[in-house]
Amino acid sequence: MLEEVWRDALIALKPVILKVNVQVKRIELITGGILDFWSLENADAARGRKYARVVVDEAAMVATLQQDWQEAIRPTLTDYEGSAWFFSTPKGMTFFRVIWNLGQDPLRTEWASWQMPTVTNPYINPAEIESARLELPERAFEQEYLALFLEDAGGVFRGVRKIATGKILQPYPSRFGAGIDWGKSNDFTFISVFDQANGKMVDFDRFNKIDWFFQRERLKTMFAKWKPFVGMAERNSIGDPNIEALQREGLPIVGFDTTATSKPPLIESWGLAIERGQTELINDPVIVAEHEAYERTVSTVTGRSRYGAPEGMHDDSVIGAALGWHAITQGKVFRAVVGGQRPVVQSYNPR
């Protein structure tokens, strides 16, 4: 792949080339610009350099892309506050998918991503594309010509895009439940609201890097808007004091203990609802991406299933949505009972 790009660059830049070093793959231009060409078979070779821009071609095929980016490529951009471009056919749920997802997240303003099918290329005959569509297997055409990330056969949630057709709604007469997954610094707090009558997600909020007090205020705003009969909130560690504070104010919040025993049935129930089309997700790129990337691994020691996001990704919308679904399918009407200085703290443990 490197040789092909090297030859193309020599041809395209021939009128402005000042000097070529074939051995180290380096081109110097009459403008003073310099281009270095590296193979990611050994990303460490570029250590110590400084660049204004790095371009990674066929990034999805680089098995060590995450390590290469974090430990070798990203540091070379620091001196010039440079930028990086990653191009590739979307091949599998790799780190290329992770950084593409970052570009779809409105809260990650330093990233941007685009999806461009072959038909957007003005130099390719549309008739050739149609011919390929008729000849190739559907999955192959979707990946190679439509630039689609294909659902991983080993993924937990099947058919996410089919049910991700909803949008944020305004309150209407019905019965609603909510799910809350807490986060603060690196992770995000995700609040989901579901309609018990039809199983649809009708609203959500997602944020991080704000104080717990303001997080609770945003949650209270969501509850004032939809008036859910119950909110299932992850109780583990940071969740407990937040749940107690909200219960003290009379909000119908129930704590959910996420354990190695309780998490699999929670996720599996949510996954079954998605696969059967019993729910509808809001068509948000972060929600869709986190659900599609969510994975299951099996412990070689205990044989138990472990569910979670791939390295470098978040699962806040998955847990928040799963708790919301659990609220409307398993939750009961909750009333906080205040006595003395502290409320009677109610929690839910599915064991």
Fold of the domain built from segment(s) 160-348: Nucleotidyltransferase; domain 5 (3.30.420)
| Burial of residue 59, with CB atoms counted within 10 A of its CB: 0-12 exposed, 13-18 middle, 19 or more buried | buried
- What tokens does 87 get? 């191009």
Does residue 129 sit in helix, strand or coil? helix
Nearest to 245 by CA among 215, 224, 287: 215
In order, the DSSP letters of 282-325 are B--HHHHHHHHH-EEEE-TTT--EEEEPPTT---HHHHHHHHHH
Strand-pair partners of 253 = 231
Where do the structural domains in the chain lie, given as residue ranges? Answer: 2-118, 160-348
- Is residue 206 within 8 A of residue 222, CB to CB? The reply is no
* Residue-wise pLDDT tens digits, 14-70: 999 999 999 999 999 999 999 999 988 888 888 889 999 999 999 988 888 998 999
Strands 253-256 and 295-298: unpaired
**CA 123/CA 119 separation, integer angstroms:** 9
Q: What DSSP state is assigned to residue 152?
A: P
pLDDT over threshold 80, residue 252: yes
Strand-pair partners of 191 = 180, 205
Position 83 scores a pLDDT of 96
CATH 3.40.120.10 given to domain 2-118: no
* Residue-wise pLDDT tens digits, 254-312: 999 988 889 989 998 999 999 899 999 999 989 998 998 888 776 666 666 678 887 77
How many other C-beta atoms lie within 10 A of the C-beta of residue 60?
22
* Strand positions, DSSP E, the chain: 17-21, 26-29, 34-36, 53-56, 83-86, 176-181, 189-195, 201-207, 230-234, 253-256, 295-298, 305-308, 337-339, 342-344, 347-348
Does residue 261 sit in helix, strand or coil? coil
**CA 213/CA 217 separation, integer angstroms:** 6
- What tokens does 210 get? 């704000």
178-193 average pLDDT score = 90
Rg (the chain; Cα; Å): 25
**CA 317/CA 206 separation, integer angstroms:** 8
* Residue-wise pLDDT tens digits, 264-276: 899 989 999 998 9
Strands 17-21 and 34-36: unpaired
**CA 231/CA 325 separation, integer angstroms:** 10
- Is residue 243 within 8 A of residue 179, CB to CB? The reply is no
pLDDT over threshold 90, residue 82: yes
pLDDT over threshold 50, residue 337: no
Indicate the residue type of 81. Answer: E
pLDDT band at 236 (very low <50, low <70, confident <90, very high): confident
- What tokens does 178 get? 């909510």
| Burial of residue 80, with CB atoms counted within 10 A of its CB: 0-12 exposed, 13-18 middle, 19 or more buried | exposed
